[in-house]
Amino acid sequence: MVRLLVLASVLFTLPSISAFLGGGYGRGQLAPLNLFGGGAGAEKKKTGGMGAMVDQFKQMAEMTKKAKQLQEELLVLRLVGSSADGDVTMTVNGKSVPVSCEISDAAMEKGAEYVGSSLTEALKQANEESKKTMGEKMTEMYQTMDPAMLAGLPGM
């Protein structure tokens, strides 16, 4: 039984091995696939088959690394928004998460309703700054990438 399995595996392997050893590609012989480039016309096309996929995986890894760096940068970034009169200031990080809030004594004397509306105004302004900054940074990151990689991303 073992001899039969060995003989069968050798018989099935021989045609594919002979295709890579040279000679014509006649009936029953397989042609080399040149999965990693290097086939006919390789001088014209630098990467072919699997070679192009390997390049895409490298670019994707680089994009992931840059995205992670951007996320860390946005967490540290601080953006400030304030009410029209400056009585209330709100600080958010680059991901629009509130970090701190300062309310002046003058605002406190004007009452809770005034403080509430000033807080809302300051937070909206800080969030707008955060969105604007995040958009600029993402645009910078995308400009360094291969356009072919961006084609599959949503919104691109």
Q: Is the pLDDT of residue 48 over 80?
A: no
DSSP code per residue over 38-79: -STTTTTSS--THHHHHHHHHHHHHHHHHHHHHHHHHHH-EE
CA distance 74 to 138: 11
User: Which pLDDT tens digit goes with each residue over 96-118?
Assistant: 899 999 999 999 999 999 999 99
**130 or 57: which carries more pLDDT confidence?**
130
Lowest mean pLDDT segment, chosen from 23-37, 40-54, 57-71, 108-122: 23-37
Contact 122, 102 (CB under 8 A): no
Instruction: Give the residue among 73, 54, 74, 51 at the shortest CA–CA distance from 62.
Output: 54
| Residue 56 token pair | 């895409």
pTM for the full predicted model:
0.57
At residue 45, φ and ψ (nearest 5 deg) are -110, 110
Three-state secondary structure readout of 78-96: EEEEECCCCCEEEEEECCC
